[in-house]
């Protein structure tokens, strides 16, 4: 046994010595420079706050808070409630709710990908009720004040057909508003608050300076959630979505929902660059705003006349395709191809012919039919426009005297806003269309309605009287009428010079 134990001990000792030898060999090999593995050195730290010619990384900065901007703008953004009577609808007889109106049954049931107004909710939620009498609806939208006197911009579809219009401010104050003018073609409307100001307001900026990628804010009242602020960027410009022939929308991903219609789209300076008007059914983050460059033009005309007069050339035009450009010998697709000319219209009188390609209008290039439509619409009626065209590969310039596009004047309800003095009159400007119905009258303001208890009623003013002067100041437009009332001294009676039938007379209206 002792001999066996000695043998086992010697075996273990040999194994231990072998292991120690192997460990020593490996350690020495690891320390030898000839046996070092090829290892790349660790990368140098990257400085993200500096750039070099080989690394143009931008500075990393935090986005600024928009809280101060939102607080500054919100007092001028309003909630608009418009009471409407809707005929032949299916639903409860009396509808009194804060929210958008329900559209007719079957309206975009499939939510196909077409632009729609944010005031068009899911029609499938409509309660079914047959043969109901006309329903009264209280439609909700947004708007914003543009000057201290209380003029408000909103969408036409918010106030179209409205009876009473109530405006609510962020502090809870409610004021009655009246429609100054509407333009369904561009979906814009101008309102005027009936109480005297001054009011908080925001200004219209220059949308032509806006770039794709610029940050924007949308403020409105989606689903009745008053003065909701959302942010996004300008996604695209000059969008033509088939809403009208005057499409020129700003596309944004700032959240726009039912109730936002008529609210402002603002840049980071707090300037209005668009009026929120449409959303894309079935889409997300796709909204459309009317650019402020167009809004300024329309609002100026609504303020002056209550409606928008547009120029007319009387030519039917179509886009140039690549094939048509080749056939007509043109180098590119720029221009508007004249397909037909209306007999006796300005284009016909100027010598424009079918087959002509209009390439310039008053010195401005025509890339397509939308350019021509916009420029002709803005051209002053009666003035001579320079129209450059290509005929048989030769360039010609014609003088074209602008005509007036005959469109129905939208009904604004009460035709004159009530300013600091409310005489109780509803007036309408005497346009050529109105003058045709009046014998021997070409200017002035037609009295269409009188409040039963009002200074004008007590003084003896009658419906169909023609007001020619206010305080010895001639008035031919609603703006001139209101300017005369704003300049009136409150302690004096208002002096009207009016015509009734063939007889003109002066009338004193005490304000006691």
Neighbouring C-beta atoms of residue 27, cutoff 10 Å? 9
- Largest Cα span, the chain: 154
First to last CA, the chain: 140
Interatomic CA distance for residues 237 and 282, integer angstroms: 21
In the set 156, 157, 292, 415, the catalytic residue is: 157
Token digits for 240? 């033509």
Whole-angstrom distance, CA of residue 78 vs CA of residue 146: 11
State phi, psi for 47 to the nearest 5 degrees: -90, 105
- Tell me how far CA of residue 20 lies from CA of 13, 24, 114, 158, 491, in angstroms: 11, 6, 83, 93, 119
CA–CA distance, 188 with 350 (Å, rounded to integer):
33
Task: Look at residue 10 and give its three-state secondary structure.
Answer: helix
- Cα radius of gyration rounded to whole Å, the chain: 36
Q: Please answer whether residues 104 and 128 qualify as being in contact, where contact means their C-beta atoms are separated by less than 8 angstroms.
A: no
Task: Tell me the C-alpha distance between 275 and 291, whole Å.
Answer: 7
Q: Are 193 and 263 in contact (CB under 8 A)?
A: no
Tokens (6 digits) for 178: 């009246």
Residues 296 and 399: beta-carbon distance below 8 Å? no
Cα gap 399→352, rounded to integer Å: 10
Phi, psi for 375 (deg, rounded to 5): -70, -40
How far are the Cα atoms of 64, 303, 325, 347, 449 from residue 367, in angstroms, in the given order? 39, 31, 13, 19, 47
261 noted as active-site residue = yes
Q: State yes or no: cis peptide before 198, omega within 30 of 0.
A: yes
Alpha-carbon gap, residue 445 to 447, rounded angstroms: 6
Respond yes or no: is residue 208 known to be catalytic: no
Task: Please state, in angstroms and rounded to a whole number, the distance separating the CA atoms of residues 456 and 450.
Answer: 7
Helices (H) and strands (E) counted in the chain, each on its own, are 10, 27
Q: Give me the catalytic one of 183, 187, 371, 465.
A: 187
Q: Which residue has the tokens 């273990």?
A: 12
C-alpha 179/C-alpha 161 separation (Å) is 10
Q: Which helix (H) or strand (E) is 295 found in, with range?
A: helix 292-305
Residue 304 class from Cβ within 10 Å (0-12 exposed, 13-18 middle, 19+ buried)?
middle
207, 261, 289, 292: the catalytic one is: 261
**Which active-site residues does the annotation give?**
157, 187, 261
């Amino acid at each position: 046994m002792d001999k066996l134990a000695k043998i086992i001990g010697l075996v273990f000792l040999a194994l231990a010595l072998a292991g120690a030898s192997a460990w020593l060999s490996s350690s020495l090999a690891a320390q030898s420079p000839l046996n070092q593995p090829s290892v790349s050195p660790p990368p140098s730290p990257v400085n993200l706050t500096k750039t070099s010619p080989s690394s143009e990384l931008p500075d990393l900065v935090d986005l600024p808070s928009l809280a101060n901007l939102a607080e500054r703008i919100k007092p001028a953004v309003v909630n608009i409630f418009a009471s409407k009577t809707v005929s032949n609808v299916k639903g409860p007889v009396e509808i009194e709710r804060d929210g958008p109106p329900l559209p007719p049954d079957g309206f975009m049931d499939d939510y196909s990908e077409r632009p729609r107004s944010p005031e068009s909710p899911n029609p499938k939620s409509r309660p079914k009720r047959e043969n109901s009498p006309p329903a009264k609806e209280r439609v909700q939208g947004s708007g914003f004040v543009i000057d201290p006197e209380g003029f408000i911009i909103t969408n036409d579809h918010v106030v179209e057909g409205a009876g009473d219009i109530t405006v609510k401010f962020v502090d809870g104050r409610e004021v009655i508003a009246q429609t100054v003018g509407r333009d369904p073609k561009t979906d814009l409307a101008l309102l005027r608050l009936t109480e005297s100001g001054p009011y908080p307001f925001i200004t219209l900026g220059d949308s032509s300076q806006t770039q794709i990628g610029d940050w924007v804010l949308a403020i409105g009242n989606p689903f009745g959630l008053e003065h909701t602020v959302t942010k996004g960027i300008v996604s695209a410009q000059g969008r033509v979505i088939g809403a009208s022939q005057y499409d020129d929308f700003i596309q944004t991903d700032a959240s726009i929902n039912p109730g936002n219609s008529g609210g402002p789209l603002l840049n980071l300076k707090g300037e209005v660059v668009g009026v929120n008007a449409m959303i894309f059914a079935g889409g997300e983050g796709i909204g459309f705003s009317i650019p402020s460059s167009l809004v300024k033009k329309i609002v100026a005309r609504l303020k002056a006349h209550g409606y928008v007069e547009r120029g007319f050339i009387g030519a039917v035009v179509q886009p140039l395709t690549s094939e048509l450009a080749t056939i007509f010998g043109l180098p590119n697709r720029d221009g508007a191809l004249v397909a037909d000319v209306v007999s006796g219209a300005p284009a016909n009188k100027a010598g424009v012919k079918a087959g002509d390609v209009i390439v310039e209008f008053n010195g401005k290039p025509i890339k397509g039919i939308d350019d021509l439509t916009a420029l002709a619409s803005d051209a002053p009626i009666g003035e001579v426009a320079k129209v450059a065209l290509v005929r048989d590969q030769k360039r010609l310039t014609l003088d074209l005297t602008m005509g007036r596009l005959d469109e129905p004047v939208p009904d604004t309800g009460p035709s004159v806003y009530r300013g600091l003095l409310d005489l109780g009159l509803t007036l309408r400007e005497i346009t050529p269309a109105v003058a045709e119905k009046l014998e021997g009258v070409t200017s002035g303001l037609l009295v269409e309605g009188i409040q039963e208890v009002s200074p004008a009623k007590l003084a003896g003013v009658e419906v169909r009287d023609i007001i020619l002067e206010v305080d010895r100041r001639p008035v031919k437009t609603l703006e001139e009428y209101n300017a005369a009332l704003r300049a009136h001294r409150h302690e004096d009676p208002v002096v009207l010079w009016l015509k009734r039938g063939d007889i003109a007379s002066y009338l004193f209206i005490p304000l006691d």
